[in-house]
Amino acid sequence: MVMATAMDQSAAQNQQVQVRFIAEQEQYVVTDAPTLVPVHLKRYGLSEIVNHLLGTADAPVPFAFFIQGRHLRGSLADYLQEQGLSTEHVIELHYTPTAKPPRELSTLSHDDWVAAVDMTKTHFLSGAYDGVVRVFNHSNELVRQLTGHEGPVTAVHAVQTSGRIHEGIDAMNADVCAKGQPTFKGIGHEGTVTALASNAAGSMLYSASWDGTIKAWRCHSDDDDEGSDEGEQDRSVAISSKRRKGNLPVKTASASFLGHTGAVTSISIPEAASSSAASSSNVLYSAGWDHTLRSWDIAAGMCTQQIRWFGARMGSAYIG
């Protein structure tokens, strides 16, 4: 019985099927004549065959493969079995180059899970479950540790125009990592903060949360409220209430954006528009676990457009 099982497995490994390779890009076209290949091959093995046919085996290009518009995630044998097809069937296999896997350049140790990262032209920072924000230079040297959180840091955001780092919803005045002192603590979310974004001036900070809300915060001090150049913000949202906890100012949100029926996991303000006219910089995008992508009028605090996706939950909204 054991010998028979081993022979069956060996026979399955030796099975072949005819494949017609169809390139999506002209520079990767190979012969369209059917090629016999082992049925146990997956993406990596199929990529090796295509590179051999292209003559690029010395500098291989990774490919992704599709059959009838479906991504081939397993072996050819898996596909044949799922479709109830025999090895006499000729498979039309479309392929397209895919991104090469990332190459590790260095390792930066943390005491707990890393939950968030962001970067500027001179530094990058990380937020971790040990409650610490770490700031590194581009030589991978740790130049500052920002402390103050009483729990995990789940979102970080560097405002390059003002030299401030916002995380949690605490705001750390980095001053190019010289001081590392918190400038205010924002309270009001009833769930974990998942994402942060800011306007081009760095005067307004926006936070998304598991509680299904997006909140707006003024980053400048009370003294800066007078004469602020954020005219549209002054007209549309009230000045934040503010009190102190010890020496640390505590703020409540100046506005809340309501509409998501699940956790909001990502927010974004268009980078190209955020530095132009006020009418262009008045848009915020969000995505959440309620399967929606939403566009918001910041001044009015209203959702202006909603796109619903009934597939997987939406975890990212980025507008470059």
For 171, the enclosing helix (H) or strand (E) is strand 170-173
> Using CA atoms, how far apart are residues 235 and 225, in angstroms rounded to an integer?
12
Return the minimum-mean-pLDDT range out of 15-19, 118-122, 207-211. 118-122
- pLDDT of 224 reads 42
- CB distance 168 to 187 below 8 Å: no
Q: Please give the full DSSP string across 244-313, using - where no structure is assigned.
A: EETTEEEEE-SEEE---SS-EEEEE--HHHHTS-TTTS-EEEEEETTSEEEEEETTTTEEEEEEE--SSP
CATH topology of domain 16-97: Ubiquitin-like (UB roll) (3.10.20)
Residue-range domain boundaries for the chain: 16-97, 114-308
CB atoms within 10 A of CB 257: 24
Stretch 171-183: mean pLDDT: 52
- Are 16-97 and 114-308 equal in CATH topology? no
CATH superfamily of 114-308: YVTN repeat-like/Quinoprotein amine dehydrogenase (2.130.10.10)
The pLDDT value given to residue 317:
52
Residue 113 predicted with pLDDT over 80: yes
Q: For residue 237, is pLDDT > 50?
A: no
pLDDT value for 142? 92
Asked if residue 267 has pLDDT above 60, the reply is: yes
